[in-house]
Structure formats: C-alpha cells, structure tokens
Structure 1
Amino acid sequence: MQRPRLKIGVLIDQFQIPSWAWEMLSLILKKELAEIDFILINQSPKSSGTKSSFLYRVFSKLDRTIFKVNQNAFVRKDIRKIPSLKAEIIPIKPVQKIYSDWFEKGDLEKIKARNPDILIRLGFRILKGEILKIPTLGVWSYHHGDNLVNKGGPPCFWEVLKGWETTGSVLQILSEKLDDGKVIYRSWSRTDPLSVHRNANKVYWKSLYFIPRNIERINQVGIDQWKLELEMWEADSMNDITLKPPGNLEMIGLGLSHITKTFKRKVNESLNKEVWQIWLGSNANNIFSDLKSLKKIPNPKGSYLADPFLVEEGDEKYLFAEQFDYSKRKGVISFAQISDGKISEFRTAIEETFHLSYPFLFQEGEEWFMLIESSASKSLRLYKAKEFPKKWKLYKTWFEGYEMYDPTIVKKDGLFWLFVNVKPHPGASSFDELSLFYSEDLLTGDWISHPLNPIISDVRSSRPAGNLFFENGTWYRPAQDSAKHYGHQIRIQEIIKWDKDNFSEKTFKIISANWNRGLIGTHTINLSKNWIVVDSFQR
C-alpha cells in the first residue's frame, strides 16, 4: 500500500521569498514528494538582531555590485506563483521577545488542526515553545554555515573574511538551543576567496536540494528507517562560538586585510601562469611509497598536460592526458607511447570544438572505449577506438543536459558502477557533490541512480581523481580535495560499505604535492601494472 504523502507547512515573513527557496518548494511539488498544505505568513516580521553596522552594509553592497553572478539566489519571487501550489494562507502575529518568536495558543491550535508532518522555516526569528513539537518530523531549518565551527552569522561571510578553506551548510530539526538542533544534512563547499556574495550564492543554490532529498528518502524507506540513518549526521561536538555582523571598527580591520589578500592573490595570478604537468614512475614497489622518484614529463610547446591515464596493451604502454592549448583556450585528448621509461611525442587522439578532459579508458571485450569529461557540452561522451590508440569515434552520449565531471567506471559484483560529480544547479559548484550510478550493461547507458545520491557532498573528497583500485580485499577511491584551491591535493578514500543500497567511505591517505619544490597541487593519480602517473599544479 502506498504511503500517504507527507504534509508540509511553510513559515515566511513575506510572500516574496528568495529564488533558491522558491525553487526548493517548486521542486517538492514538481516531483510530487509531499503536499504543501499551508503557509504561515508573519504579520509583524522583525529582525532577529540589532541593525548591522554602516561599514558592514557598505561592504555588502560593494561586494554585490562588483562580483556579479549569472543566477542570483536572492532575487525574490512570489511564493503564491509557484506552479501547482494550493496551500492555505494563515496569518500569524507571533509574540515577540528580544530575539525569539512565540506562538499564541489560538494559532497553535490552528496549526495542530492541520496535522503537519514538517514545518519548513523560511521566515520568523528564533522559534521557541510548543511550535517546535507540533509537526511529526519537526521544524526544518537551514544554517548556512558549519555549526561544528560557528553559530550565528552572517551566512557565508566570516569564511571569506577570515580565509577559512570551506563553507559549510546544514539542515537541522530545530530545538530550543540556537543552531544546535538535530542535523539531518551536511555539506561543505570551497570558500570563494574574493566575494561573500559569490560564496553565499553557490552555497544557497546547492542547499535548496537538502529538503527535497530528505523527503524523497523518507518516501523510499519510511520514517523509522530514515530516523535510523540520521545518526550518521550527528556531530561529536558543536562549537559554542556565536558570531554576529562586525561593528564599524572590526569591519575596517577585516576590510583592509581582505583587500590586501585579494591584491596579492591577483598579482600572483597575473604574473604567474597556471601550469600543470605530469610525472611518471615505476609501480614496482608500494604504490605510494616514494613520489619523489617520479620523473617530470616535459609539456608540449604552447600547452600543458593534466589528467593522466595509463594503458598497458600487451607489450605496448600508453599515456593519455588532457592537453590544454593556451592559444585555443581548450583541452584536447592526447596520447604518447612509453618505451623503456621514455615518452614519445604527444599526438592528438580526440578534439572537439569544446573543452575535453579526464580521458577515462576501459576495455570491454576486445574493444577500447574512452569516457571523457565534456561538461561544456552538458553530457558525458563515450568514444570507441577505430584504431587504438590514435583514432576514435563518438559512440554514445549519456546524461544529456547535465553538467558532469570526471566520470570514473569500475566493475564490481557483476555490475558497472559510474562515479561522477554532478552540478546540481547552474548557480552551484561542480566540486561538491559525487553521484553513483550502476548498470548491468555498460554500453546501453541504462544507468540507475543510487538511492543515496549524492553519496558525497563535500568539496574535500567528492570529485574523482583517477581509477579505483582493489588491494588486500578493500576498494580504494582516489578523490580530489579542492578545499584550499582547485587541485590542492588527493585523498585516497577507503570504501567501507558499497552496494545498491549503501555507500560509505573514510580517508585512508592524503597525497600532497610535496615531491618537488614549487608544486602547490595535484588532482589525478593512476596506476597500471608497472607504472604510476600523477599530475601537479604550480604557478
């Protein structure tokens, strides 16, 4: 028997709500995840704190003016114009204390009569009292920040001004304690080093999916199982530091420091060109024993090499890579032959009018295939070798309309598994979320989405960084850690549980670009029977 759909109420301060919240509610209705039964509209909205300082407001306005975004998460849209919304509007005049809102008995009775499963807080101030106990599954609220690090706000501000590597975002069931409710979703993004506005924009766009994902999971497994799964989100300890908008004097210090760091960063980027390179070495001993013994492969003139992959076909050994042409401002897929540890000249294998990278190679039967990152075409493109390794033809296009990054395939338990980063929204980041798909037939493209997707929502360990490998009965997944900057380091993730219903992993080893002076990053590593190859980044 099909479960009745969950019943939702929404708390707002005004009918004009931010675009990210508008899209979140729209998605719930579009996918028919739940019924939005009523909307509580605050009749006397009030700020949750004192007025922000003058210089903080000036800084915020300048930031929004200078650092534009293509899709602004904070442009307001009328909640009443959400397609298929048939919610009853219930006006509420809360009892307002210093920083909190309480509900009167009559209003509480109205809400109880609706029997809500969830209340989604998109307005009002700190909620106190019986309202927190009325919905079956609680009052759900966002905290756009990492409550393991700090509480309060402003959202996504301190991370930029203090130079923190990551910006967290949390969905929680509210309790009486500030930003200390039961966490039901966590995610981490790389902090934008220049702009609070850009930093917040991408975080808010990503977070719109947190509530629909939880509702969808409840619909899949039921409330009891969902509650058991929530234990993974419980934090060991919360931080009691509560931040607030800076005063004028503090803003002067923060602003000057931020301008200085930004100036130095821009000078460094303008004077020192981005350069990637590939390093090759023997895989005779332990696979990560001594990266300092690797030898640098010279970049072809006018270009750099990155995303290296190895193929050993009989006695022939080949190295495939992205070759980025500075003049064309795009990457092509090139290859070279390895002979006695020496590399031949790189030759183009595949070129399109758009950027190509991450040439993931695999063999099926007697045929060679290459799955390439082609996010610029909003698809994954599968090529088949006409004449390996030099001639390839487009064989199939998967996931049309989606921006997907660093696709990596492995065969396990009679199934083909595809690990790939998926950009959830045009305004969100491509670095944060890893999805997993599986199929019985590799070449049909009939990929089934894992029920826990995205299986990782953390910039520190999401994007694939090369082939998975199996050692001593355990699977390991190389992952990019781009928290500090793009291509900072690689994490080797040990997979703990992995099947059609489950996935979990932990960090086994971190590989930093410390094997040669001047390197500041690495983001792809691959192994073959005899060789190990890794890329590096420097300016």
Structure 2
Amino acid sequence: MKKKIRVGLLVDDLKASAWVHRMLERITESHYASIELVVMNGFKPRTNNSIVTKIKNNWGGITSTLIWKLLVLAQNKLIDRAECKPDAFEPKDLKHLLTGVPTMEVMPIRTKFSDHFRAEDVENIKRHEIDVLLRLGFRILRGEVLNSSKYGVWSYHHGDNAVNRGGPGGFWEAMESWPETGSILQILGEDLDNGKVLCRSYACTYDLSVSFNRNGYFWKSLSFVPRKLKELYDTGGEAFLARVESENAHPVFYSNRLYTHPTNSEYAQLVLRAVLKKIRNYYFSTFHFDQWFLMFDLSRDFSGSLWRFKKILPPKDRFWADPHVLCRDGKYFIYIEEFPYTRQKGHISLIVMNEKGEYSPPFPVLEKPYHLSYPFVFEWEDEVYMIPEASENRTVDLYKCVKFPDTWEFQMNLMEDVVAIDTTLFRSGGKWWLFTNIVENKGASSWDELFLFHSDTLYSADWIPHPLNPIVSDVKSARSAGKIFRKDGKIYRPSQNCSWHYGFGFNLCEITTLNEKEYREEVVASVKPNWDKNVI
C-alpha cells in the first residue's frame, strides 16, 4: 500500500482560524497525507509584571493600540458595515484533529524579526522523518529548520510576492484599491517571501473592505496545501520536485517596498480616503443606473472593433447577459440570461434576429424555481443541447431541445452536489472536455478558479478530473465567457477578466496543450471597457 505523505505542523497554539481548521480537516480525512508531528512554539511574552507596571512601562504602546482599535472600529462601521459569513478567522480548537499526534515544544532563538531553531530541536524533528513541514505559526524562519523535512517547509504568503512582500495580507490591496489580490504557497528559503512557489492565485480585490478582501481569498487558499500534498502523493517526489524546479526556473526580482503594518498616521489617512471614496460611490450610485446589455456585429469576417458594435438595451426593470448563439436558416437564435430585478432570479430567454439585425423581444424558454444563467448551447449529432448554470441547485444539468428553438427537456445531471459556474463543453481528441469554475470552499469567490474534467461520452455522470486542477487560478482569466472555438488551426477559450469588478473585461486564451495529463493556455487578446465612457 502506498505510504501517505507525513506532515508536520509548526504552530503557536492549538487554536487556529476556521480556514486553517478546515484545511487540517481535509488533510486528516484524506487518503494521501497524515499529520505525524506538531511542533509548538514555546515562546510566551513575559506576563509577570503588575498591571500598574505594564501601564507605566508601555504607556505609549497602549495609547497607540487604543488609537489603532478606534481606527479599525471606524473602518468596520463606516466602510465594511457587514459581517463576513462564514468567517474565515473564527477561532477553532485543533485538539480533536490532533489526538494521538506526537507533540514537541521548542524555544526558538529570537532575533528582531526571525526565529532560529536549536540544533537539538532540528535533529528531533528529523528523527520523525517528516515529508512536509507546514508553517502555521512562528515568525520568519531562518537556519537549518528549513532543511529538516524531506520536501521543505511550506508556508503561505497572502499576497502576490511579485509586487507585495511583507504584510498584512489583504490590507494594502483593499485600502489602496488594487485590482487584484494575490496569494501563494511556497517552499521557504532564506529570502523573505521568495521561496520556490508551489502555487499562485489571484482574486478580485474587495475595494476598501479589508475584512471581505481577506475573508474570501483566505477561504480559497485553504485548498492550496491539500492539492499540493495530493499531487506529491500521486506523482511521487522526483516528478513533483521536477515540476517545482521547472516552474521556478527564472531569476526573480522584487523592486517594490517591503510592506509592513501601517502606522496609525498612515491608517488614519487611508480610512479618511476610504470614507470619502465611499461617499463618492454612494453619490454616483444614487444618480446612475448600472445595467448589463448586449452588443452585436453581423460582419462575415472576424470583427474586433468594439466601437462598431450595435447595442441591444433591455428595459430598466431587468438586465440581459450571457448571450449564446446558434445560427440556423439565416437566423440567429440568441439564448440569454434574463434577470428581472423584482424577482431576483434569472431564467433563460430567447431573442431571434435576422440577417439585417432586426430582432424579436426576448421570451422565456427555460425557467426553474432556482436561478438560471449562462445558457451554453451546442449541437451534437443533429441534436441541440443546453447546459444552463444552475449553481444555486448545486448541479450541472444537461437539457435537449425537443422542439427547436424553445422547448427543452431535462436529460440528466452531469454533476451533483457541486457549486459549478459557467460550465462550457468542448469536443476534442474523441473526448468531451468540461470547463467550469468551482467553489470548493464556502466563502470563496466563484470568479477565480477554473476546473477541467473529461469523459468519453456526453451522457455521463462520471467526469474525470484533470490532475492539474484548477487549471487556472487567476481572476483575470479563469471564468468562462462563451463557446470554445477553432480558428485558423488554433483553439481559443473566451474568458472573463473579473479584476477590478465582475465582468470588467474579457480575453481570448489560446489553448496550446489539452490532454489527460497536461493543460496549457495563454492570453493572446484582451478587451477592456475603454471604447465608451458609459461602459465600466
């Protein structure tokens, strides 16, 4: 029987945030890894002084902390104004997950910012023959402890280490309105936040809201460790390390400042700026109306000039989105998501357009008690099929058109008990390839991660996951934006750019490798909302 990956934990306490608790749950429940050692930080701040002595000795620090807490309160009340649910940072007890696991306590040698392990502690760790040490506590680790496990010390950096080293995670991105917030899992080296990257992901920044920004991408990032442990188990150490080396082959430079916790003065300026921006946004939303609409161009050749496209504007009580088109008998059958605001639930409607660009009002063709959108329509063996998004129902549903174009009959669930978004099928190499965004962890975004599955048959409930899932973990290009197509011998996948905000732009991604073991694509063209000042 194949041996599980032996994992050791570096922790400060046996209480941890909910996202860490869930990650460790996944490891303990898995077939590929087990927790075999807990290394506790033995350092505890001195607490033997009286309260009066503490106040006298640290009056400046206490005052500074009080000001900080008032600024945090101001941000929570004036800017965030809502609780994150589920809360990624809710305290959870780890003891029940670690019953029977050997525990050792170490007293690190502390310098200004770093922790060094004594030689005897490093040797003690090595005796447990740990494959992966997972850093969930301590400060910056230096020295021989970094070599005390077979595949190194793995550590999160909740930031994009190409542009943001230091911390705190998710703070500067939100308060300075960055378009995206990065996160990585790395094998630690001596250079701060410049270890060998195991995986990298990008999320849309929640503008001005530190709480919501941190909550979403911490929930997402809990999957990084289980995924990489499974990959290590499945592929073996040699192949795993070879991939890591190839993905970290180039020199890396970092030319931005080292980010640190803001001073009270910096934080006060950021909060004031955020409040003013919040007021400006409220004023804008009061006098402006945001609405999705459709655009089209009937040129026979490929048309890439967006300013030439004509608009189809919906009534003000609804929006139209996610158009998918079939062309038959000189007509364009445009299936859309129609979303009446009063109902707060989408259904699938149809617009019929002739070759002159004249079109009918939309009429419903598929409605359910739950929300429907993204009506992916396709033809196969003289039949027309649809896979509408039904993530609210936790299914991926297949429908067949039994009377074209408006009578649809449910066929089967391709997937169940899954939050799958904007599912898109593609036929290649005698297989069906299913692309879909999946929310693995409640609280994470549906915009960030694209998963790939394959099946030999269309009518299948057994879709095999790709070993590189998620094949894209980047809010700028993960989410599908329509039918995958071939042009001039190349395969293109339209994708959404959801940085800045949902639906900010879209891309064409050329799929250069697609098989059961490998997947590669690259963004070759992008569209941003620059052709019309009224488009955002």
How far off is 1:513 after superposition?
Answer: 3.0
For residues 261 and 528 of structure 2, what CA distance do their matches in structure 1 show?
A: 36
Answer yes or no: is the 8 Å Cα contact 2:71–2:268 preserved in 1. no
Answer yes or no: is the 8 Å Cα contact 2:115–2:142 preserved in 1. yes
For residues 399 and 444 of structure 1, what CA distance do their matches in structure 2 show?
A: 9
How far off is 1:448 after superposition?
Answer: 0.7
Pick one of 273, 281, 289 that aligns with 1:257.
Answer: 273
Q: 2:494 is matched with which residue?
A: 478
SS at match of 1:343: coil
Assess, with a 3 A threshold, how the Cα gap between structure 1 residues 64 and 516 changes in structure 2: closer, same or farther.
closer
Answer yes or no: is the 8 Å Cα contact 1:101–1:127 preserved in 2. yes
Q: 2:116 is matched with which residue?
A: 102
For residues 347 and 182 of structure 1, what CA distance do their matches in structure 2 show?
A: 54
Q: 2:394 is matched with which residue?
A: 378
Q: 2:471 is matched with which residue?
A: 455
Q: 2:27 is matched with which residue?
A: 28
For residues 517 and 11 of structure 1, what CA distance do their matches in structure 2 show?
A: 52
How far off is 1:418 after superposition?
Answer: 0.8
Instruction: Please list, as runs of the form range in 1=range in 2, the aligned pairs for 1:346-425 lying within 5 A after superposition.
Output: 346-425=362-441
Residue 70 (structure 1) aligned with residue 82 (structure 2)? no
For residues 511 and 243 of structure 1, what CA distance do their matches in structure 2 show?
A: 32
Answer yes or no: is the 8 Å Cα contact 1:53–1:246 preserved in 2. no
**What number of residue pairs does the alignment pair up?**
515
Pick one of 63, 72, 89 that aligns with 1:60.
Answer: 72
1:172-217 CA distances to partner (integer Å, 9 max, x unpaired)? 1111121111111100000001310111111111111111111111
Instruction: Please list, as runs of the form range in 1=range in 2, the aligned pairs for 1:132-281 lying within 5 A after superposition.
Output: 132-230=146-244, 231-233=246-248, 236-240=251-255, 241-281=257-297
Q: 1:495 is matched with which residue?
A: 511
For residues 109 and 325 of structure 2, what CA distance do their matches in structure 1 show?
A: 66
SS at match of 2:28: helix
Q: 2:37 is matched with which residue?
A: 38
For residues 283 and 465 of structure 2, what CA distance do their matches in structure 1 show?
A: 44
Residue 330 (structure 1) aligned with residue 345 (structure 2)? yes
Letter matched to residue 332 of structure 1: H
Letter matched to residue 436 of structure 2: V
Answer yes or no: is the 8 Å Cα contact 1:56–1:246 preserved in 2. no
How far off is 1:272 after superposition?
Answer: 2.2
Segment of structure 1 superposing worse, 454-463 or 382-391: 382-391
For residues 57 and 154 of structure 1, what CA distance do their matches in structure 2 show?
A: 16
Pick one of 433, 436, 450 that aligns with 2:452.
Answer: 436
Letter matched to residue 70 of structure 2: V
Unaligned runs of 5+ in 1: 521-539
How far off is 1:383 after superposition?
Answer: 1.6
Letter matched to residue 42 of structure 2: Q
Greater relative CO, 1 or 2 (CA 8 Å, sep 6+)? 1
Answer yes or no: is the 8 Å Cα contact 2:177–2:208 preserved in 1. no
The percentage of counterpart residues that share the same residue type is 34
Answer yes or no: is the 8 Å Cα contact 2:414–2:460 preserved in 1. no
| TM superposition score normalised by structure 2 | 0.92
For residues 336 and 118 of structure 1, what CA distance do their matches in structure 2 show?
A: 56
How far off is 1:44 after superposition?
Answer: 1.2
Pick one of 311, 322, 328 that aligns with 1:313.
Answer: 328
Pick one of 318, 329, 342 that aligns with 1:303.
Answer: 318
Q: 1:530 is matched with which residue?
A: none
Q: 2:51 is matched with which residue?
A: none
How well do the aligned residues superpose, as a CA RMSD in angstroms? 1.9
Letter matched to residue 334 of structure 2: L
Answer yes or no: is the 8 Å Cα contact 1:46–1:125 preserved in 2. no
For residues 209 and 167 of structure 2, what CA distance do their matches in structure 1 show?
A: 16
Assess, with a 3 A threshold, how the Cα gap between structure 1 residues 143 and 301 changes in structure 2: closer, same or farther.
closer
Q: 2:3 is matched with which residue?
A: 4
How far off is 1:267 after superposition?
Answer: 2.7
Pick one of 117, 121, 129 that aligns with 2:143.
Answer: 129
1:272-313 CA distances to partner (integer Å, 9 max, x unpaired)? 23211111212412242x232221123246322111111013
| TM superposition score normalised by structure 1 | 0.91
Answer yes or no: is the 8 Å Cα contact 1:335–1:348 preserved in 2. yes
For residues 115 and 293 of structure 1, what CA distance do their matches in structure 2 show?
A: 65
Segment of structure 1 superposing worse, 406-415 or 381-390: 381-390
How far off is 1:246 after superposition?
Answer: 1.2
Answer yes or no: is the 8 Å Cα contact 2:508–2:524 preserved in 1. yes
For residues 166 and 298 of structure 1, what CA distance do their matches in structure 2 show?
A: 30
Pick one of 293, 298, 302 that aligns with 2:308.
Answer: 293
Moved over 6 A (4+): none
